Amino acid sequence: MSELSMNDKMTLVQYAIEKYENEEELLSKLSSVLPEKDIQRSLDTLIGTQKVRRIGPEIIQNNTSHTELPELPDNVKELLEKI
């Protein structure tokens, strides 16, 4: 998925978190469209910037009280529909 910028990848991960809060399921679904390295890097960045938070060992949520979800670009929307 070299055509996606890092911001696009993080946006995709944030919207995927809306669909799948369980981390194992999230990783499974995203692995069909992104390399695992990019998924982990995006998650780490989103957690570090407090856009995403961990709730227990398996649950990940968008931190909507801290920040809003970014606008969804069309190319990311297509990928999100695939997962």
Q: What pTM was computed for the model?
A: 0.89
Q: pLDDT confidence of 82, banded at 50, 70, 90?
A: confident
Give me the pLDDT at residue 67, please: 82
What's the mean per-residue pLDDT of the chain? 91
Average pLDDT over residues 6-11: 94
Report the pLDDT value the prediction gives residue 2, as an integer from 0 to 100: 46
Determine how many CB atoms are found less than 10 A away from the CB of residue 25: 13
Question: Which domains, and CATH codes, for the chain?
Answer: 6-65 (1.10.10)
C-alpha–C-alpha distance, residues 35 and 1, integer Å? 8
pLDDT digits (tens, 9 = 90+) for 38-75: 999 999 999 999 999 999 889 999 998 878 889 998 88
